[in-house]
Structure 1
């Protein structure tokens, strides 16, 4: 009898032990998916001082380390671990085996998801005024709409919808499960940007650590390959696409391409470089800096301004506004840098880098830049005489009066005194006068002139000065901020790398051979429809600059 009881206890112990090992094995396998993709989205099941357990939207529960160093946000604001409750929807980014970033949004009852609410995440494929098409995490294309009540948030701040780019990763929130009108859109920060384009020889593949080693590494800088690193070890995701001449290469076959040259589009993932797209080089490399003349979507063929024809495909690395975009984001008349491979007359594009193109990121924006004489200023209204408007990167003049509107939210900057003025000062002081009046003649007063940045007919920012500049000497320049500084000798100045000037003659952006210095002493600097200072410029910012040689006039941070 005792032996029978003992046997039962042993069997029970072995059964419990089996269940424990099964649970441990299941947990390890279950965690593999988010560790491979680098992110997870879903609902909090449990959270404690060390870990968080998340149920993915698609199913499956994952227990992941949540260190004290993780960046935690709720509604775009910094939060504490205690603020996150079971039931809240979260998006988390993972590095190694730990969460480095996690965000959520509050509800009326924390931890309770209101029936009928919904959320979608994805990458923007198309922006058409109030319509947006996103590619979801599972590969579906879905169409949604904005309304005047739609709120946009980036880095915890309210921003205009015009800051959206094709290629941005976004999270859409809705007030009702049956609506396709977005109530709130959260825009991912700069981690979405392509930081570098590398070319190198594939020397080794470590499938266990998901890393590759490249030799003879070159970086694409201002349309040229520059030697930057002898060798480079870099991580990749087994889910990231790998292509050769348009054909998908399974990640477990990558090792068979050792010795081949590859192109790698790189993102900065919490301080660590990571491959976002990898293309194995085909035959011989040819490069062009040209305008797209025409696109044949049926044959997937580009005709360039030099009459060269280049095929493109799903594997082509296409970078636009520093974001990785799909082939349908290509447009005729766009300027770009093209890296093609092939023999004889057949060329296939491995890399297409589209230069920043306009003041507006998309047709959702209605921003304009004017320069004109301030003919009349009254409360809330300005009349411009013979205004000039930036049209296709050139000043175009008009022989009439243009009426614009301003309010208390307008930034009005006196460039002569180097200070902000109030809207009341703007219309009560002598920035616009009746030049024929005795008061104007006795005091030698003349109308001032302004550089004006608008949203439609509403003035967002205006910089005013006494004299009109010669517009013939001015040019439009795009590039990336390398640095911004203030010195006792030169004053405020920025250095732009990868600078390009617009050529009206060639109707395209012409790359400069070296970095460009621009004075900011008499310039208005604009970001997200607001006036900022040179100190707000960050290395890596894309800028659109109107300048008179060294003297900057208008700087728009893109």
Structure 2
């Protein structure tokens, strides 16, 4: 009898050991891992190529550990920002790869093969932009270290493979910085991550179950933040997450693998789109009582980590607070007094703590790298490469401000000049030789009843990037500044070119803040100039999800700026 019992125990023990050993050995080749810190759960890997064959690639992470990962033919591959082939990747090269499931979806590298030799543009740093001050950029690296580098007139910025102005940079962008030699701090090239960095939605829901094997959380009673209020989503929701994503409760960070212990708790989750799949970027476990405010930050006490709203409410914040600005996750030091926002706080009485701070503020310029302005006014004098405005108006603090002194601006052959009356582009030569250039005081003009034209000008400093010209000046008093996100785009015989804007907010000069609208807003683009990356684009170039800064006369759009 004793022998039988011993044999059964031995068999069970051997079975357990076999399963454990199998799991460990299975994890050694990198195709599947029980370790919660694997790149499969993180969704990306950075390090050095050790081997590459027709189906897989073996990568040694910077932090240590070697992983053999499937590299399908459908993976997007780049080297130095250019499309590449599998054969172009060599052992010893440093790579960054994004993973979905058990396969690489995207991978890039730079061209140095001999790590002892630094070719121009070969030193690289990756990180998230934490601070921008004119020619200075501070990034937070994957190792959690803040590093500061500098831009010069020769620094090139790339996004989605296209050359873009440095003014498109935002705090919260994930970037790769390239340098011409190993000792310099001057950036030669900046590669900006695409739209996958953007926060798509903010959810609230109750945890039902946590699937640690598939890195997914199941929620019920789910709501999404829309137009400044919570809206119900029918049915439950399954959302993926990475094992190393931040989870907080009342300012304390907890490991993601401890989420299973919070079953039944409500959470707030900031969601981004990861290769077409919703994925949690940040998560906060909700406290006891929720209070929401839409207000302006009056003052910030950095010592006590408290902010005072315009309504005199005091709300604490901490490292766990989800702070969203320009649709990006930013840290607490990106908060500024006078910013408008939506605040979700928990607690009671005076002990309120912010779980979520959603900053509304958008401006013409993302940071002080940009020097863009919008002018409107009478084209009093047009000569070759120069325009003089009479009684010009300038957008200042989201409203038109008039000036008595004339303003001279400059254009060139690369300036986009658009005739809003004829709905067509014109050349710089046509601009100063044809009907747009009028001397009202001349007998010729008086005899023919010719009048000065008017224009909306988008400038970089005093250089005109885009100008839309028309015969009469609109009533600027009726116009308002609006920010929001493109919900739909149509073009039909009834209304022409029209967009619907969700999360729309109008600037109130009286209250000096952005005031959310309670419903979506429609804007007509038939007589508008649309600008993206300092260039004139058409309504067909707009995409659902684009963030816009709009100057409009009620339904009629006048100037539309696409924010990256």
TM-score by length of 1: 0.93
Q: Is the 8 A contact 1:385 1:402 kept in 2?
A: yes
Q: Is the contact between residue 75 and residue 156 of structure 1 (CA under 8 Å) also seen in structure 2? A: no
Instruction: Verify: 1:80 aligned to 2:85, yes or no.
Output: yes
1:27 aligns with 2:57: no
1:293 to 295, 298, 303: 298
Q: C-alpha offsets along residues 246-286 of structure 1, whole Å, 9 cap, x if unaligned?
A: 01122232222111111011111111111111101111100
**Which residue of the partner structure matches residue 8 of structure 1?**
none
Instruction: Quote how far apart the aligned CAs of 1:230 are.
Output: 2.0
Q: What are the ranges of 5 or more consecutive residues in structure 2 without an aligned counterpart?
A: 1-21
1:158 maps to 2:130: no
Equivalent positions of 1:79-158 (< 5 A) are: 79-106=84-111, 114-115=117-118, 117-158=122-163
Q: CA RMSD in A?
A: 1.9
Change (3 A) 1:451 1:529: same
For residues 207 and 152 of structure 1, the distance between their equivalents in structure 2, rounded to whole angstroms, comes to: 39
Size of the aligned set, in residue pairs, is: 538
Of 238, 245, 270, the residue aligned with 1:265 is 270
Structure 1 residue 555: deviation in Å? 0.1
Please state how far the C-alpha of 1:542 moved relative to its aligned partner.
Answer: 0.3
Aligned to 1:447: 452
Match of 1:486 among 468, 485, 491: 491
The residue number in structure 2 matching 1:524 is 529
Cα deviation, residue 516, structure 1:
0.7
Q: Which of 443, 448, 471 is the matching residue for 1:438?
A: 443
Find out whether 1:514 has 2:519 as its counterpart: yes
From 208, 222, 239, give the equivalent of 1:217.
222
Say if 1:88 and 1:113, in contact at 8 Å, map to a contact too. Answer: no
Distance change >3 Å, CA 282–CA 23, structure 1 → 2: closer
Q: Is 1:322 paired with 2:322?
A: no
Distance 2:24 2:400 in 1: 71
Contact 2:343 2:356 in 1 (8 A): yes
SS at structure 2 position matched to 1:254: helix
Please tell me whether the aligned partners of residues 300 and 337 of structure 2 are also in contact (alpha carbons under 8 angstroms): yes
Q: Which residue does the alignment assign to 1:396?
A: 401
Whether 2:286 is the aligned partner of 1:284: answer: no
Q: Distance in 2 between matches of 1:318 and 1:407?
A: 41
2:261 pairs with 1:238: no
Aligned CA distance change for structure 1 residues 206 and 299 (closer, same or farther; 3 Å): same
Match of 1:184 in 2: 189
Q: What corresponds to 2:476 in structure 1?
A: 471
* TM-score (structure 2 length as normaliser): 0.92
Counterpart-to-counterpart distance in 2, 1:98 and 1:22: 20
Helix, strand or coil for the counterpart of 2:196?
helix
Q: Shift of residue 88 of structure 1?
A: 3.1
Deviation at 1:83, TM superposition (A): 3.0
SS of the aligned residue for 2:172 comes to coil
Alpha-carbon distance, 1:343 to partner? 1.4
Q: SS of 1:259's equivalent?
A: coil
Match of 1:230, SS?
coil
Residue aligned with 2:29, SS: helix
What is the SS of the residue equivalent to 2:469?
A: strand
| Distance in structure 1 (CA, Å) of the matches to 2:34 and 2:57 | 14
Q: Separation in 1 of the partners of 2:142 and 2:27?
A: 27
